[in-house]
Structure 1
């Protein structure tokens, strides 16, 4: 056991140990928040410290809900450690060993989640190099997460012999250049294993090298609709594969929708969640983590990754330490009723709501999560009763000076809550806000995309506009079919679309468009979310355009608006939490 320990944290238990160090489950002394701490053994030399710093840089820059988050790197004269997010779930390796083949939709869901995590690394010019089932964690919501960047390297460097032989691309065996296509190959190997229950190639190291370099791609082992993905992803040369994870996601979605329908992802995620839940009782550490947490199997709520309380109990932990590596999937138990946590600058603060006991829930990321925030009122232009053709401003006084955010909404730094037209919206702080309403349409605006970003809420009853909206967001509806008959190219400009399920009404996201004739400076994100309460209700849309580094504000704005618009449908907290995770993941794919 390492003698040196990070001050301010109490170790709960050791989760795994390898050749260079160990991983422990620990609790933040002040708040009780659980974390994973990766320690180097003994007094590490400069080379060991630099390897840990390198991993910290990789984790610290990979801003994605599909990547385990780094809280901080701690170094002292006697040791070094990474303090990381504690992920509520079990490793994909454990699931495959116990469940075998996962089925097409679940396999596709694993691949998509992993590709989203890898795409965050690729956007930074980083190649993971060791993607494998032990490095994928499936939490209670079924949305897979990528962990461990210990041997990640900048793209374009020699691939080297590092990696796990079952999943290493030919260029890794040949010590050629590592590119994002190297990770695509490994992800496809794992995809084959998910779909079939068997690794694509087996044998000793020499046999594996030969198979990966020259062997036949095992397309015949997977269901027919999946074979093109395997052929592309496991092509022998990087040039024949998709250039990176983002490009492969587009191919995956096209294949999945055509073969298994628009609800394929919902089906797959549910299957993964069930597989993780079935194994949760094997790792009963929840009761040891937080005061007030339910013991395994007693029906207590589990808060996953700061996205709110979920109706699952007995989540556990597993550590995969094969080959000296340190891979951790942590179970977190928390009774988070009526609470929110604020984490930032290394501290966590619990807040109390109503008469519920004060408890702390785990925060998924270092971004701040607010429970109660002030509200700023905006004005609207409304029809002038004295002038049928005129409009006049009307102040919109908030009904209350503050608002309590739902637990699924994290308010980023630099964001604020506004009140326009009878509803609250999240937008960038300290910007202009206004609205207008007419006979058949309305628009509420916060900020300006050309001056730091903007959020827009609109609704419309006009027949032509409604048809175009259906075409963009819900192309399978009758109004979309009618509109397409007169405007065949109506949905030709929508490169990405994802429908949200389980929220009580139809809701869909698309890559958005910048408001006005000019786009903001690149890179930026432009994303839209639409809801369709019923055939006779107005079509409602929210658009968010932000600089890329402020994309988390778009995730918060869309999630808050979705919660507001679906209140009457009474979606479950679990479905809203799942939707918030899907929104955040979708935003990560919309970079311009």
Structure 2
């Protein structure tokens, strides 16, 4: 199929081509603003839909340290992204030509990139592919971060990235966090300041093992900067700075202590000189234009530009990399007015006002109450609370989440029906009454935690509470999270459970004292998993875990929810989030508050 082209742009030259598509340097027809356009060739609907979702999420990035992405278009021919043109060359080319940089220049590159990463981290986005080819150095010595082709929301994970710069958790296919990007940025810093990649010169399996277990060699790193490298490349993400913003603070302290307050100005001058020496590779040189001279207007794309595409193409990257290879681009078109979605002649265009990025879907959480009478057998549902969500812009996802959230009430109703049927004679026509009390904890944007207390009178023959249940649901997928999703594997061992128990304390004013409920006073790993039995009541043969993580708004809690009438069925053990972060899966820990939430007025 012949190459397709976006209307309203004049294509000047092709910068790269691959199996997935191509990258071209172009100008907006009306404003003559230079842009780069990445075309995704005709592809599956799923790939294009993934590109659209990524465009809406990442188009909110407006940092001067990140290449701006302005427009996303999907049509019967494929999809395309229009991006800011960067008149510079990649850090990869700079290093290939010049080798190691001065410490001040290397620190300057690292700081600029970290500030770009910090903007992404503020939106919950992890880049996952920070490397020299994705850092563009301009003629003024400033740098910009490009290509979010494999970016994900914090907490998601897979084996993705560039091996030379991948953090241990990426090699293991675990969830990515902002600390994942910190590791990659530190790897690049080592390359900048020594002229060699960490763990260079080994084949892939050995490279993986070194990233997983070997401490980085810092002998060639200037001594004042060695602690910075060791911290940024710590094997555990929890031993690194929590994110790019925290690492910038560490970097500036180390840089000033080692090189004085003028270190950054010297670094910028050195980078500018190194970049200008490669001016022949600058994509806009042939156009004799200056990027940034833009006009605004609805649909005009006056501010349209094209981030790493232009510079990366000049540096030899192809369209088969990054955005095009993974259908993971981003984009926004600067227009006057509110956000709009327009459909014209089979083309879908997503656009938003430049200063009013579309907010991400936010779950609106409600506590509903249900009253109903069920006959044959007779069950009375009375003031039963359950949680619902809406506002996610995805009806199918909302349905999945709401089914998960209502499951404890549905299970209780089935228990009540089975009990009423088995004890029809003893109930003498009296209905079994059931109710639930729902307590909400964290409410998003990606995790919702709800604690249910279940109640029944067993047709006025009270013989114990049915217990309770905690529901933790991933608002991105609708999946209910289990203990193995929440805790690191080492936590769900006898030693790990003892370590966790030592960090929480029973909250007073609830039932009996724990020492009266447990002969040895200890939790066990079995308490965190579903319980099966040979109960006569089919609905009770599989019961939820006795002990579950509940993410309250102000603290981490373990909820002991166990059937019975001895006062030991509804207990709470709590502790600060800071105390338990290192025993949680990184993706879960990244969603937690860093400090207690303020008390509601």
SS at match of 1:221: coil
Do the aligned residues in 1 keep the contact of 2:34 with 2:291 (CA within 8 Å)? Answer: no
Aligned to 1:162: 160
* Residue 221 to residue 18, structure 1, CA distance change in 2 (3 Å): farther
* Residue 279 to residue 84, structure 1, CA distance change in 2 (3 Å): same
Deviation readout 1:139-185 (Å, 9 max, x if unpaired) = 11111100011110000112x11100000000000111110000000
* Residue 263 to residue 327, structure 1, CA distance change in 2 (3 Å): farther
Aligned to 1:48: 47
Aligned to 1:204: 203
Aligned to 1:111: 110
**What aligned pairs does 1:281-430 form with structure 2 within 5 A after superposition?**
281-283=280-282, 285-287=284-286, 289=287, 293=288, 303-306=290-293, 318-321=314-317, 324-326=320-322, 344-345=334-335, 367=354
Matched residues in 2 for 1:16 and 1:346: separation? Answer: 32
Q: How many residues are paired up?
A: 317
Question: Which stretches of structure 1, 4 residues or longer, exceed 4 Å deviation after superposition?
Answer: 365-368
* Residue 238 to residue 145, structure 1, CA distance change in 2 (3 Å): same
Do the aligned residues in 1 keep the contact of 2:283 with 2:314 (CA within 8 Å)? Answer: no
Matched residues in 2 for 1:204 and 1:61: separation? Answer: 39
Residues 220-229 or 1-10, more deviating: 1-10
* Residue 307 to residue 26, structure 1, CA distance change in 2 (3 Å): closer
Aligned to 1:122: 121
Matched residues in 2 for 1:305 and 1:35: separation? Answer: 10
Deviation readout 1:47-99 (Å, 9 max, x if unpaired) = 22133224423431112000010111011122210011001110000000111
* Residue 17 to residue 268, structure 1, CA distance change in 2 (3 Å): same
TM-score of the two chains, using structure 2 as the length reference: 0.50
Aligned to 1:188: 186
Q: Which protein is bigger by CA-based radius of gyration?
A: 2
**What aligned pairs does 1:488-507 form with structure 2 within 5 A after superposition?**
none
Q: Does 1:242 align with 2:241?
A: yes
Matched residues in 2 for 1:170 and 1:19: separation? Answer: 30
* Residue 44 to residue 71, structure 1, CA distance change in 2 (3 Å): same
- Alignment gaps of 5+ in structure 2: 296-309, 325-332, 338-351, 356-601
Do the aligned residues in 2 keep the contact of 1:142 with 1:270 (CA within 8 Å)? Answer: yes
TM-superposed deviation, 1:103 = 0.9
**What aligned pairs does 1:36-115 form with structure 2 within 5 A after superposition?**
36-41=36-41, 43-115=42-114
SS at match of 2:6: coil
Do the aligned residues in 1 keep the contact of 2:87 with 2:282 (CA within 8 Å)? Answer: no
Matched residues in 2 for 1:153 and 1:68: separation? Answer: 17
* Residue 169 to residue 250, structure 1, CA distance change in 2 (3 Å): same
Aligned to 1:171: 169
Do the aligned residues in 1 keep the contact of 2:38 with 2:319 (CA within 8 Å)? Answer: no
Deviation readout 1:271-325 (Å, 9 max, x if unpaired) = 11111100012447523x3xxx3xxxxxxxx6344599xxxxxx98714426931
Do the aligned residues in 1 keep the contact of 2:150 with 2:322 (CA within 8 Å)? Answer: no
Do the aligned residues in 2 keep the contact of 1:108 with 1:191 (CA within 8 Å)? Answer: yes
* Residue 322 to residue 32, structure 1, CA distance change in 2 (3 Å): closer
Matched residues in 1 for 2:177 and 2:12: separation? Answer: 39
TM-superposed deviation, 1:12 = 0.8
Aligned to 2:477: none
Matched residues in 1 for 2:275 and 2:245: separation? Answer: 26
Root-mean-square deviation over aligned CA pairs:
2.6
TM-superposed deviation, 1:344 = 4.0
Do the aligned residues in 1 keep the contact of 2:87 with 2:283 (CA within 8 Å)? Answer: no
Matched residues in 1 for 2:69 and 2:161: separation? Answer: 22
Matched residues in 1 for 2:97 and 2:110: separation? Answer: 19
Matched residues in 2 for 1:223 and 1:152: separation? Answer: 32
Do the aligned residues in 2 keep the contact of 1:23 with 1:326 (CA within 8 Å)? Answer: no
TM-score of the two chains, using structure 1 as the length reference: 0.51
Aligned to 2:573: none
Do the aligned residues in 2 keep the contact of 1:49 with 1:80 (CA within 8 Å)? Answer: yes
Deviation readout 1:484-503 (Å, 9 max, x if unpaired) = xxxxxxxxxxxxxxxxxxxx
Higher RCO by CA contacts (8 Å cutoff, separation 6 or greater): 2
Matched residues in 1 for 2:85 and 2:353: separation? Answer: 12
Aligned to 2:27: 27
Do the aligned residues in 1 keep the contact of 2:231 with 2:240 (CA within 8 Å)? Answer: yes
TM-superposed deviation, 1:28 = 1.0
TM-superposed deviation, 1:126 = 0.6
SS at match of 2:180: helix
Aligned to 1:466: none
